[in-house]
A and B are shown apart, each in its own frame.
Chain A
Amino acid sequence: MAKLACEFIGIKSINPFWLASAPPTDKAYNVVRAFEAGWGGVVWKTLGEDPGAINVSSRYGVHYGQNRQVIGFNNIELITDRPLQTNLDEITQVKKDWPDRVIIVSLMVPCEEEPWKLILHRVEATGADGIELNFGCPHGMPERGMGAAVGQVPEYIEKVTRWCKQYSSLPVIVKLTPNITDIRAPAEAAIRGGADAVSLINTINSITSVDLDTMSPEPSVGGKSTHGGYCGPAVKPIALNMVSEIARHPASANIPISGIGGISNWRDAAEFISLGAMNVQVCTAAMLFGFKIIKEMCSGLSDWMDKKGYLNINDFCGAAIKNTNDWKYLNMNYKRVALINQDHCIQCGRCYAACEDTSHQSIAITEKAGAREYTIIEEECVGCNLCQITCPEPEAISMIDIDTGKPHLNWTHDPRNPLREKQ
């Protein structure tokens, strides 16, 4: 049977699932419940200098799908609002009681050497397994020169990371903000500063909705609001891309990655790991469904690994990186077309409307014995996938590889490319 137990920068964990630094890891009570449910580790809700942060009332906004399923979720909360010593005492106690579980302490203090030095000593005394530097909170704290404001300036990241390595013996994970154009720059800065790992992504600047009666964005604080940090299923594609960017960039390819962002089930987790994350962190899914979802994540991942013959996480970690490339290296001679399986087609015509109105007019309608039949006009089909995407029936449209008999040819050598590399 597949083994979920794994090691991340020398820290042993019973499974690759940690709770990300956020309300689920705010205090001992939650963390103990999480450990009881089976979570491998937690990144404790970000600690800062006393006095604790002050939060407003009304804190979360939501982006719903049509059936109230949460597509995305945002918050305007700050770092912990509890006294530093209370948090440290609780961390010490929980770590003592749960020696086989991971506790990472997330930190955010002003960008000066002294405050970092002070807090690092106190954290080390708790027996925690490591620290995570929160450079990512996109609201509130940046206004005090902390969080994303630091995360957006690579030199600051490098400087703070270096202090941490200097004043603490604990492994250092640098948590990256996605509110930046090229995620590789802060990752490289963390490496220069001596980071043991990076974790990403933190939340994305966002406004989830506007109440059209009051004209206030959500979450509304007495009729006014501010941008918040976006997370949940909607951010997964963005996070996956950023993880892969770091994993396949030569200068950062060796840094261990803890993947975060929209992980809601075992499959999401497996995708992050396949793109180079060595473990994953989860926040929104736990906030929406409770800690018990860890059971689905563990059983799903382990069953899938069994089916695939992977014995441990390392067996497939990064397995998709080699298949992630720049556009110019894709095979220009590859061809696929859609095929409609009439046994599964329910004749809704969605593929037709999509293709006819917005794509390549490659679907034909024929009337057959009073019923309609939708078929692909293969010569017109460019294999864009739109029909398959819009089709409500999972088995009705498949995309078929066509053997063109032509060799692999990428754009850098394509004769149609005026700037091609001459061989």
Chain B
Amino acid sequence: MSVDHDIQSKRLDAINILDNFSDIHPALTMKQALVASERCLFCYDAPCIQACPTQIDIPLFIKEINTGNAHGAAKEILSANILGGSCAKVCPTETLCEQVCVRNLKEQAPVNIALLQRYAIDHLDSSQAYPFTRDKNTGKHVAIVGAGPAGLACAHRLAQKGHRVTLYEAEKKSGGLNEYGIAQYKLLDNYAQEEINFVLKIGGITIQYETALGSDITLQELRNTHDAVFIAIGLNATNKLNISGEQFNGVEDAIDYISQLRQSTDMTDLPVGRRIIVIGAGMTAIDIAVQSKKLGAEDVSIVYRRNQESMGASDYEQELALKHEIHFIFNAQPYQILGNNKGVTHMQFKQTQYDTMGKLVATNDIIELPCDIIFKAIGQQFNIFPLANKDDPRPKLDKRGRIQVNSQFRTSLDDVYAGGDAIDGLDLVVEAVDHGNKAAAAIHQQLQD
């Protein structure tokens, strides 16, 4: 018998949950790492290095693992990407370094770069000296807004150069989406916080929590009191469906739910719908669908208005969803949400098709799916609001509505830089780190001039 609006906690017991949310890719053993590292060809001008936004010297660190120097490999990685640990776990390597590995050509299998990177980081010898040093204090002070991947990377580079850094963070914890957004099965336990502790060991960085730009401080104040400002506040608004019924109970933002999941101390307490619809086609859609299944949802469908080829999620991610018995429904455009006083009961879609010009058009065929929860995973937006008060100078935005920067990551304001998801790009952790690194170099240059 089907119960309308069936949302319950404790669909699975704690042991099952723990099992479901264990590491999606278990770490390599030493033997496995040796075998995997032996496959690296130490290519000339290696394509994987070029495919990595932070240009980690992948063949070099793999050779170091192969010669029994995993500690050295970890130092090599971290010197290019201070968040190399989380990148090893969250990067969609199937579309980055591993995609271009030359081993794909004749063997259809790349070197397992992600797991080797993780092996190296796990074997950083903590009894050794901290691998980075801080130059003599320059007396300069840089404000960084947002302690996500972009902000942290920038802070670490600036601290090495001897500048003082204050991170202004709206939330109670730092880490950005590494703390609040990444799928739980990719970044387990307290990994984000442990990594941040490692970043902060460099010294010279302070974090001011629960201090939001726009409400607690203004950009003008920061500019007045610091030598430069780096804005790395990520995306702060989600897209809406704009259809009738969106106000019903049970229509939720995927990101809010993931954040709740990541912060919960006991995942069995989370309310979980029996039948779930996910609207979207990107990484977030896959993440929420897989996690719902892992929490015990019975039936999860990802519904996308275009065809499969247009999906943002990589083949690897789509396969992951299929492995979790998630259904894909293509060519179905949200039409309306039906519900009662308890909450959502059904969602209706219009079948779509491509016309002769290749344009997507909705037909009048209606598909109706019963559901208890609808997760919206249709993208995030940058919201201009916190950037500046009405009369203060504010950085210009680009066509996509994100902060406009030049190749030096400098905004239209001379002393204000920006990076990460707040500017146009791939919206990946590794790219946020790259932006932070490059902005730090530009800021350092400017502070010296």
A and B: real partners? Answer: yes
A residues whose Cβ falls under 8 Å from a Cβ of B: 66-68, 344, 346-350, 352-353, 392-393
B27 within 8 A of A: no
Instruction: Say whether A350 contacts B38, CB under 8 Å.
Output: no
Can you give 29 contacting A-B residue pairs, CB < 8 Å?
Answer: A66-B34, A66-B37, A66-B66, A67-B34, A67-B38, A68-B34, A344-B106, A346-B102, A346-B103, A346-B105, A346-B106, A347-B43, A347-B47, A347-B102, A347-B105, A348-B41, A348-B43, A348-B44, A348-B102, A349-B43, A349-B44, A349-B45, A349-B46, A350-B41, A350-B43, A350-B44, A352-B44, A353-B44, A392-B41
Given the interface contacts A347-B47, A352-B44, A353-B44, does A66 sit within 8 Å of B38 by beta carbon?
yes
Instruction: Encode B229-257 as 1/0 by CB contact (under 8 A) with A.
Output: 00000000000000000000000000000
Q: Apart from A66-B38, A350-B42, A350-B44, list 17 A-B contacts with CB within 8 A.
A: A66-B34, A66-B37, A66-B66, A67-B35, A68-B34, A346-B106, A347-B47, A347-B105, A348-B41, A348-B43, A348-B44, A348-B102, A349-B43, A349-B45, A350-B41, A352-B44, A353-B44
Report A-chain residues with C-beta under 8 Å of the C-beta of B37: 66
The 6 closest A-B pairs by CB, nearest first: A349-B44, A353-B44, A346-B105, A346-B102, A348-B43, A348-B41
Whole-angstrom distance from the CB of B127 to the nearest CB of chain A?
Answer: 15
**Cα-based distance from A344 to B107 in the complex (angstroms):** 11
Q: Mark B98-128, 1 if CB is under 8 A from A, else 0.
A: 0000110110000000000000000000000
Query: A69 — nearest CB in chain B belongs to which residue?
Result: B38
Give A66 Cβ to nearest chain B Cβ, in Å. 5
Within the complex, what minimum Cβ distance (angstroms) separates A265 from chain B?
Answer: 21
Q: Which residue of A lies closest to B35 (CB)?
A: A67
| CB-nearest residue of chain A to B59 | A348
Cβ-closest chain B residue relative to A356: B44
Chain A residue, CB-CB nearest to B106: A346
Docked CA distance A367–B445 (Å): 34
Q: Which residues of chain A have C-beta atoms less than 8 A from B66's C-beta?
A: 66
Complex formed: what's the CA distance from A37 to B226 in Å?
82
Q: Which residues of A contact B43 (CB under 8 A)?
A: 347-350
Task: Provide the B22-34 mask, 1 if CB < 8 A to any CB of A, else 0.
Answer: 0000000000001
Number of A-B contacts (CB under 8 A): 33
Contacts of A348 in B (CB 8 A): 41, 43-44, 102
Q: How distant is the Cα of A347 from the Cα of B104 in the complex, in angstroms?
A: 11
Q: Smallest Cβ distance from B22 to chain A, in angstroms?
A: 29
For B41, B44, B105, the residue with the greatest tally of chain A CB atoms inside 10 Å of its CB is B44
Within 8 A of A (CB), among B9-55: 34-35, 37-38, 41-47
Q: How far is the CA of A346 from the CA of B105 in the complex (A)?
A: 6
A392 to B43 alpha-carbon distance, docked (Å): 10
Q: How far is the CA of A392 from the CA of B102 in the complex (A)?
A: 11
Contacts of B105 in A (CB 8 A): 346-347
In the assembly, what is the distance between CA of A352 and CA of B37, in Å?
Answer: 22
Measured in the bound complex, the distance between the Cα atoms of B290 and A174 in whole Å is 73
Residue in B closest to A357 when the chains form the complex, CB atoms: B44
User: Considering the chains assembled together, what is the distance between the CA atoms of A348 and B35 in angstroms?
Assistant: 19
Q: What distance in Å separates the Cβ of B232 from its nearest Cβ neighbour in chain A?
A: 32
B residues in contact with A68, CB < 8 Å: 34
Q: How far is the CB of B57 from chain A (nearest CB, A)?
A: 14
C-alpha spacing A65/B263, complex, angstroms: 47
**Bound-complex Cα distance A352 to B38 (A):** 20
C-alpha spacing A68/B30, complex, angstroms: 12
State how many angstroms separate the Cβ of A29 from the closest Cβ of chain B.
33
Q: Please give, as numbers and ranges, the residues of chain B lying within 8 Å of A392 by CB-CB distance.
A: 41
Residues 306-349 of B at the A interface (beta carbon under 8 Å): none
* Chain B residue contacts of A67, Cβ below 8 A: 34-35, 38
A344 CB to nearest B CB, Å: 7
Residue of B nearest to A345 (CB): B105
Separation in Å of the A343 CB from the closest CB of chain B? Answer: 10
Residues of chain A with a CB closer than 8 A to B106's CB:
344, 346, 393
CA distance A38 to B292 in the complex (A): 61
* Residues of chain B lying within 8 A (CB to CB) of residue A353: 44
In the complex formed, the residue of A with least CB distance to B31 is A68
Chain B residues near A66: list those with CB within 8 A. 34, 37-38, 66
Q: How far is the CA of A207 from the CA of B105 in the complex (A)?
A: 40
Chain B nearest CB from A78 CB (Å) reads 33
By beta carbon, the residue of chain A nearest B67 is A66
Across-interface contacts of A350 in B (CB, < 8 A): 41-44
Q: How many Å lie between the Cα of A402 and that of B103 in the bound state?
A: 32
User: In the assembled complex, which residues on chain B have CB atoms less than 8 Å from the CB atom of A346?
Assistant: 102-103, 105-106
* Chain B 41-93 residues near chain A, CB threshold 8 A: 41-47, 66
| A393 to B66 Cα, complex, angstroms | 21
Residue of B nearest to A394 (CB): B106
Q: What is the chain A residue whose CB lies nearest that of B100?
A: A347
